Structure 1
């Protein structure tokens, strides 16, 4: 055993399997995974004993790594362990953060992924009995530890790999239920049923890597991202997966959507998609925006376009489907945000950690009252790039849009439910409207490019005559678009005759589809929030 100077007493010994050094920074860490041979080790007196082997970590090129240090709420910490989980929709990571000794002694927390961003969570006591896992349903109100929560998701997960030092033996043998709960205080609570008779409880709050003053992060550039590769299972073209959290990627050559949520080895699930309209802001473009993720905080940062989606409204029962586009933006330390392009204007949005509270027919969030606008069902029709959730053909989302009242008419909220049956998730997103000029300036687009983006969101209040004129104008646009578009399971009804005559792969039919999509944009209800932002940190 060897020790070294540090605020905490360290422990180091040789791995009994390969002889590599294994270090423990905390006296509370009884287990570790050797970084060389992946042996799972337990401290047995003054020696280490091998009790199993961890699987190889899914190489996700995360900026986080063991040894990275930072500060949270004024207290220094270092990342000493990592757990990697898998569930039906993909994978997520939890990093064990060890804090320096304080008046309460050593403590550790968990820096976890949450809908493309991060949460800092700490284990908490669970007074009284926890609700049975089989009784929990997304959207259901529930009381845990004497506080009111709303169930966001209930999934069956499995620990697939571990790294570094851990407070408990990693259970790599079987799956278990994990439930995410959220509240109006912008917190996320997690019930972990790895031991069904004694579930554990943790509570976390949202955090950005940029505000943790971290050092020792993995080397990467915001504009030039490192990549891991595979071959497209459809055409054999090289796929370069660049983002740490990518679950789906679109082949640049054949446009097949490839599922990489289970890793890049073996057979990759994929599906073909019909040709859609190309993005007006090219993938890879970098724009500078000052998004206010937290009240009073606006910082201009470079955001890169990494994904693009075209969506339509379905199940309306009438010929009034709407279309819109969304750009997935990425910043290395802030995470993800969405830029929404609809016929009634531009807006940005990002998932929030908590849930709003009810306020009559509307909701209240961060002191702002929002009124309800629309309920609608959306469906993906075309995608490009990379996404941090698993894309499925014809997957539908069930949405409700809200708009801020009074002086906060530019604010937007969206509630989105994804999945069905027991595999549902509810995600809330928040954002604001943007002018088309702001988008043009952010990406430094040429005048010809900027002209195609010129549409601004209607204000929530204003001059009556002006609003009436806009109502008549947009009413005309709606009628015109309804003559052009119809979203029916991804096909345009006016192209059916060409498909019947010439076939689905014919130039005539494909040209008709491209023509039908060429001017698409959402009108009427929908999607101020991000879409299919499913996949919580659990």
Structure 2
């Protein structure tokens, strides 16, 4: 028989092992026994076992059961967690229980979203959602205009604590809008879809208490998983990932890209790669930078990848750039991007811009479309929170404001569309932030090249010059140096034929065909 505690907690014995199972909310319908991992269903004062949950795989999240905080003026406690996964990686969904108040409590979740965090509230859905939404397309739902950002089959990895319902696997459709919101449709067999709407949050602003602690004398950035060591399947060297979000990492011994498992297991596989040039910013280095209008924060370099665009034809110039994956325990992830035009610092967006004529609008700013291209990964080092692969290909569209101070990028890969935004960073600021000593030429960049107006005028001038040059070349190629023989003796005369033969043999000098003029091509350009 269950018993109520003075703190309005309900307690009952696990029907499988007899261990005590507590419920902090009368509205919670499910829990996972912390001793035997049984998935339990609550019906009044009765608990019944309906399944078995896998072990929670160890991670580096600063959150844990029992962590408390405040959001929108109300206190909450983390009482449960669901770990989900798909081809895009794994993530946590933390079940929040708010303090009692006049307002009817709603089911709330704190979820990890592309290296950031989102608080979502479940809400009733009075209309039938679309049965087959299309990735990247707009739709209207719950009175809002959305863009479909992802369509995934979310597997259930594990669960713990107190939950509003028994966790299940199923299809999840993720939506984003111009208000910076993320909507989620969770389809469940034999039941109506579960609808929730959320916004991004900064953990530092939530007055969190009871976070996970690292060992004494060990910095957060340097803390490692205790006992998590995996043998490299290529050379046998030990791999010790520092982040729980890590899905791929590069072996420091043989440079192979290794797919990491969840928890303690053998590595899933590897891809050999040649050793490239070392990154300008060493892995593990920490620097202080401000993202957008935010305050300066300490970011650690945990990953590095080189990428290039995919030319449409052999004559297009190919552009290469480098991306440093930065990590902050409470802020999540960011990208420091090094292109031939300059440095920029960007983060993934929770929402999605609205489409406009010739570009998009995001948070009151108009962005002009700049480049559309395919891109691929050519070299990687370090750790990544998504399964990175050599030759990974994405379709990219870059946007920029007229003054060049704000950048947007849309990337589509498989079942997901991701938007990221940021701004240029002076090279000297990068050097100072990460305490770098390098030749000036390695950091010198023409940051004015980010300005769309300057680029537009330059490209117009170059384009007009090339058009004139092209017409001149076509005219020269179409002219006949043997015209005088053709006029005097006729097209079939020996004189005319001999003249044409000498021209074709190169006796009078020949020019090269193909190639580009002055190094100009229609491809390439700035990225992110």
The two structures have a TM-score, normalised by structure 2, of 0.82
What does residue range 88-487 of structure 1 map to in structure 2 within 5 Å? 88-132=87-131, 135-171=132-168, 175-195=169-189, 198-220=192-214, 221-227=219-225, 228-260=228-260, 262-292=262-292, 297-317=293-313, 318-406=315-403, 409-419=404-414, 424-446=415-437, 448=438, 452-459=442-449
User: Do the aligned residues in 2 keep the contact of 1:153 with 1:180 (CA within 8 Å)?
Assistant: yes
1:169-218: CA deviations, max 9, x gaps? 223xxx42111011111111111112365111111111121111111111
Structure 2 residue matching 1:225: 3-state secondary structure: coil
| Correspondence for 2:500 | none
C-alpha spacing 1:226/1:209, structure 2 compared with 1 (3 Å): same
1:21-45: CA deviations, max 9, x gaps? 2211000012110112111123344
| Correspondence for 1:516 | none
1:232-259: CA deviations, max 9, x gaps? 1111111111112111111111111111
1:140-162: CA deviations, max 9, x gaps? 11111232111111111221211
User: Do the aligned residues in 1 keep the contact of 2:400 with 2:452 (CA within 8 Å)?
Assistant: no
User: Cα distance, 1:117 vs. partner?
Assistant: 0.8
User: Cα distance, 1:226 vs. partner?
Assistant: 2.0
Unaligned runs of 5+ in 2: 463-522
Q: Distance in 2 between matches of 1:402 and 1:337?
A: 18
User: Cα distance, 1:222 vs. partner?
Assistant: 3.0
Structure 1 residue matching 2:277: 3-state secondary structure: coil
1:263-316: CA deviations, max 9, x gaps? 551451211123222111000000001112xxxx42111100000001111133
Unaligned runs of 5+ in 1: 473-522, 529-538
User: Do the aligned residues in 1 keep the contact of 2:176 with 2:350 (CA within 8 Å)?
Assistant: yes
Q: Distance in 2 between matches of 1:106 and 1:225?
A: 37
The number of residues matched between the two structures is 459
User: Do the aligned residues in 2 keep the contact of 1:101 with 1:107 (CA within 8 Å)?
Assistant: no
Q: Distance in 2 between matches of 1:257 and 1:97?
A: 37
RMSD: 2.4
User: Cα distance, 1:108 vs. partner?
Assistant: 2.9
Q: Distance in 1 between matches of 2:64 and 2:203?
A: 12
Q: Distance in 2 between matches of 1:116 and 1:461?
A: 29
| Correspondence for 1:477 | none
Q: Distance in 2 between matches of 1:137 and 1:78?
A: 37
User: Cα distance, 1:425 vs. partner?
Assistant: 1.1
Structure 2 residue matching 1:210: 3-state secondary structure: helix
| Correspondence for 1:12 | 11
User: Do the aligned residues in 2 keep the contact of 1:39 with 1:50 (CA within 8 Å)?
Assistant: yes
Structure 1 residue matching 2:428: 3-state secondary structure: helix
User: Do the aligned residues in 1 keep the contact of 2:309 with 2:524 (CA within 8 Å)?
Assistant: no
Q: More displaced, 83-92 or 368-377?
A: 83-92
Structure 1 residue matching 2:121: 3-state secondary structure: strand
Q: Distance in 2 between matches of 1:114 and 1:176?
A: 18
Q: More displaced, 46-55 or 181-190?
A: 46-55
C-alpha spacing 1:189/1:462, structure 2 compared with 1 (3 Å): closer
The two structures have a TM-score, normalised by structure 1, of 0.81
Structure 1 residue matching 2:240: 3-state secondary structure: strand
Structure 1 residue matching 2:204: 3-state secondary structure: helix
Structure 2 residue matching 1:458: 3-state secondary structure: helix
1 or 2 for the larger relative contact order (CA 8 Å, sep ≥6)?
Answer: 1
| Correspondence for 2:63 | 64
C-alpha spacing 1:129/1:108, structure 2 compared with 1 (3 Å): closer
User: Cα distance, 1:4 vs. partner?
Assistant: 4.2
Q: Distance in 1 between matches of 2:202 and 2:30?
A: 29
User: Do the aligned residues in 1 keep the contact of 2:400 with 2:406 (CA within 8 Å)?
Assistant: yes
User: Do the aligned residues in 1 keep the contact of 2:368 with 2:400 (CA within 8 Å)?
Assistant: yes
Q: More displaced, 64-73 or 455-464?
A: 455-464
Structure 2 residue matching 1:433: 3-state secondary structure: strand
List, as ranges, runs of 4+ consecutive aligned residues in structure 1 with deviation greater than 4 Å.
1-5, 261-264, 459-465
1:437-487: CA deviations, max 9, x gaps? 0001111223x366522224225559989x979x99xxxxxxxxxxxxxxx
User: Do the aligned residues in 2 keep the contact of 1:378 with 1:399 (CA within 8 Å)?
Assistant: yes
